[in-house]
């Protein structure tokens, strides 16, 4: 069935993305796990729509990526996004289960890792997400380190995020990225941001103050045959920030609960995000939305300039 097909032919592009590719207009890739496992309905749906509108407002074409009935989809209709938003038991796809999910004609949402793999196949250049996965706290015991890290070292996009998710061990995540040769670069900030908070207290390995430095660096990396993404960490806007002091005990409580309920593996990140949402009475959700939109805005400006 798949013989003779190259990577590009295995992808179904939406009409909007197809046109943008033909006319070489800037495209911003978006993931779908944030829709299915990152937040509840209907917030997930309204955010998915709002993120796409914002990319268009900045002159870019949004490309939300998912697997639907075993088809690799780059760009989804609003109906498809709605159905993913409401769906229960959709698989959370990363790099180890993406392929079998396709072969077995299933539907699944793509994490940062799986989205990066597909976006690279589609030759997209810029991707906006909320927070990346990384080394979990106590990963020295559990070995739970997101495949996002490995895929960031294999695809070649510019990834805009609000830092590693605050539920993680941020120093370990920063070290893992360095070991894999992934440049963690903060945008207009001396320290690494921590998703809901602007400052993790960890000094950033690299800082840029302009979009043109990001674009020039991408071109230099490509010209010199370097593999791997540039990870641009963009702190959440001040007005939407949750302070570290407030959120840290809440994260600790959520982790303690996860341990006592033996929640681990793929279920851990969604569990922790849901617990934090409940304990902050929805404030974390509001911040999560704001940081994603802030990242879409920066990603769109980068995509526009790189063209
Ligand atoms: N950031 C969010 N919400 C999410 C995620 C990130 O604000 O739901 C998702 C991303 O898709 C990321 C994944 O790739 O969580 C990481 O999961 P894990 O730690 O199981 O690898
Ligand atoms: Mn994991």
Q: How far is the CA of 2 from the centre of ligand 2 (A)?
A: 31
Q: How far is the CA of 136 from the centre of ligand 2 (A)?
A: 8
Cα distance between residue 134 and residue 200, in whole Å? 15
Q: How far is the CA of 259 from the centre of ligand 2 (A)?
A: 14
Cα distance between residue 69 and residue 20, in whole Å? 24
Cα distance between residue 160 and residue 230, in whole Å? 8
One DSSP character per residue, 17-79 reads HHHHHHTT--EEEE-SHIIIIIS-TTHHHHHHHHHHHHHHHTT-EEEEEEEETTEEEES--HH
pLDDT tens-digit series, residues 66-91: 999 999 999 999 999 999 999 998 99
> What's the pLDDT at 36?
97
> What's the pLDDT at 105?
97
**Ligand 1 atom closest to 33 (CA):** 11
pTM value is 0.96
Answer yes or no: is pLDDT of 217 > 60. Answer: yes
Residue 155 beta carbon below 6 angstroms from any ligand 1 atom: no
* Ligand found nearest the CA of 147: 1
Residue 163 beta carbon below 6 angstroms from any ligand 1 atom: no
Q: Is 14 helix (H, G, I), strand (E, B) or coil?
A: coil
> What's the pLDDT at 296?
98
Average pLDDT of the residues in 89-105? 97
Long-range contacts of 261-269 (CB under 8 A, 24+ apart): 264/142, 264/144, 265/144, 266/92, 266/94, 268/136, 268/144, 269/37, 269/133, 269/146, 269/165, 269/167
| Of 32, 44, 39, 34, nearest in space to 109 by CA | 32
> What's the pLDDT at 307?
81
**Ligand 1 atom closest to 168 (CA):** 19
Average pLDDT of the residues in 172-176? 98
Active site residues: 31, 165
> What's the pLDDT at 1?
44
Average pLDDT of the residues in 2-10? 68
pLDDT tens-digit series, residues 140-162: 999 999 999 999 999 999 999 99
């Amino acid at each position: 069935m798949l013989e003779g097909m190259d990577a590009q032919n295995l992808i179904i592009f939406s009409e909007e993305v197809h046109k943008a590719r033909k006319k070489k207009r800037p495209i911003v890739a978006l993931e779908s796990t944030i829709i299915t496992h990152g937040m509840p309905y209907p917030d997930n749906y309204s955010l998915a729509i709002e993120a796409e509108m914002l990319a268009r407002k900045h002159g870019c074409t949004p490309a939300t990526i998912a697997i639907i009935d075993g088809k690799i989809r780059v760009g989804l209709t609003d109906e498809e996004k709605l159905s993913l938003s409401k769906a229960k038991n959709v698989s959370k796809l990363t790099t180890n289960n993406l392929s079998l999910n396709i072969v077995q004609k299933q539907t699944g949402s793509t994490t940062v890792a799986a989205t990066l793999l597909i976006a690279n196949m589609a030759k997209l250049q810029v991707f906006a997400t909320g927070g990346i996965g990384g080394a979990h706290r106590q990963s020295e015991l559990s070995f739970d380190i997101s495949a996002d890290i490995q895929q960031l070292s294999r695809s070649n996009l510019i990834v805009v995020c609000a830092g590693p998710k605050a539920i993680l061990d941020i120093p370990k995540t920063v070290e893992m990225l360095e070991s894999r040769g992934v440049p963690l670069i903060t945008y207009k900030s001396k320290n690494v941001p921590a998703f809901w908070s602007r400052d993790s207290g960890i000094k950033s390995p690299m800082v840029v103050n302009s979009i043109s430095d990001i674009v020039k660096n991408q071109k230099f990396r490509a010209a010199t045959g370097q593999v791997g993404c540039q990870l641009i960490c963009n702190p959440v806007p001040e007005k939407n920030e949750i302070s570290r002091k407030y959120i840290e005990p809440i994260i600790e409580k959520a982790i303690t609960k996860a341990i006592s309920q033996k929640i681990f593996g793929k279920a851990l990140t969604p569990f922790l995000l849901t617990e934090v949402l409940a304990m902050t009475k929805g404030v974390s959700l509001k911040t999560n939305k704001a940081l994603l939109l802030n990242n879409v805005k920066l990603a769109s400006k980068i995509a526009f300039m790189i063209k």
